[in-house]
Structures are given as C-alpha cells and as structure tokens.
Amino acid sequence: MIEQTTQILNKKHLLIIGKTATARKLFINDLLLNTNFEVFRFPSKMKLFDEYIDYVKMKKLYEPWYKAKSYSTDQIFDFHFDWISESSSLVIIEEIQYLEETWQIELLRIYLNVIENRKKGEEKIHLIISQESENNLISKLSKVIDIRDNERRTSRQIVEQNLKVIDLN
C-alpha cells in the first residue's frame, strides 16, 4: 500500500483517514521513507491559524520581495501563498480536523487550486493531510474550489481528481 500511495502522491494531494492518530502518523512516516521531497511537517493538531502562521514564520516559508522591519499576518500569508505556488516541497498537516474550519478550508482550497492550475511537467507542491474521517471534507471543498471558464468537470470531480482519500481501515 505504501508504494502505491507514494505513486499517487506524485500526482495528487493525500487525505489519510481511518484507524488511530498514531496509525496515521506511522503510515505518513513510512510514506516519507519512499519520497525524495523537501518535507515541511506542521505541528500536529494545530487549532488556530496563528499556529500555522507561526510555523510558516519559523521555517521561513515565505520570501517577501521587499524588506521591512516586520510583516503583518496577511502579508506573511500572501508571501506564503506565493511560496506554495512555486514550491515542489511536501507539506504535511496532521490531524487537520482540529484547525479552525474556516482556515482549514481556505488553506486546502489554496493547495488544491495550485495543483489544479499547474501545467503538465511543472513542479508542484505536494500535500498530505490526515484526520479521523473524511467528515464531508470533499463536499466542503467542492463548494469553494475555483473553477475555470469552460470547465466540463464538476467542482466535486476537480477536488477528487486532486485530493486522493486513503482510508487505512
């Protein structure tokens, strides 16, 4: 299962569900042994968007194009969005169900849009998230995903094409 999931990760983001939080963490650890990506593993069970931003600041996952003494949260998030768009790293956010739902959906929307809008052969960000169950996440993301003009797929099809659910049960 690890080898198949590793191959899927090269094309899609992953949502790891099922079993226990420990089992999901061990599965992700096994996946990492089979990848050659630069990995950024966010702290497990983040609750607040500020915790996400604090990690982004600590790891410098943003590159401002201008120098300032300090940057606001919105500026850091904008810079980080640019980093997501240009990165080919692997980002891991475990137990994402604890993150404020508004920010959880917004972050996932950004990651999905970036992978959806990449041209073939371009480097792209890779994302692994985990949570206890799917918990209607696909439906929630389907309501916020950006759809291009003349798109023939439904919003749900776009989400499912870019986010693969791996059920460990």
The structural domains of the chain, with segments of one domain joined by +, span: 2-167
pLDDT confidence of residue 158: 94
pLDDT confidence of residue 147: 87
**pLDDT of 118 strictly over 80:** no
Distance in angstroms (rounded) separating the CA atoms of residues 132 and 95 = 7
Q: What topology is assigned to 2-167 in CATH? A: Rossmann fold (3.40.50)
Q: Determine the 3-state secondary structure of 84 from DSSP.
A: helix
Residues 6+ apart with CB under 8 A from 2: 27, 30, 31, 34
Read off the pLDDT of residues 57-107 as tens digits, 9 standing for 90 and up: 999 898 887 888 888 888 998 899 889 988 889 999 999 999 999 999 999
pLDDT confidence of residue 148: 84
The C-alpha R_g of the chain, in whole angstroms, comes to 16
State the chain's mean pLDDT as an integer.
92
Distance in angstroms (rounded) separating the CA atoms of residues 137 and 77 = 22
Instruction: Look at phi and psi of residue 60 and say left if phi exceeds 0, alpha if psi is from -120 to 50, else beta.
Output: left
pLDDT confidence of residue 129: 97
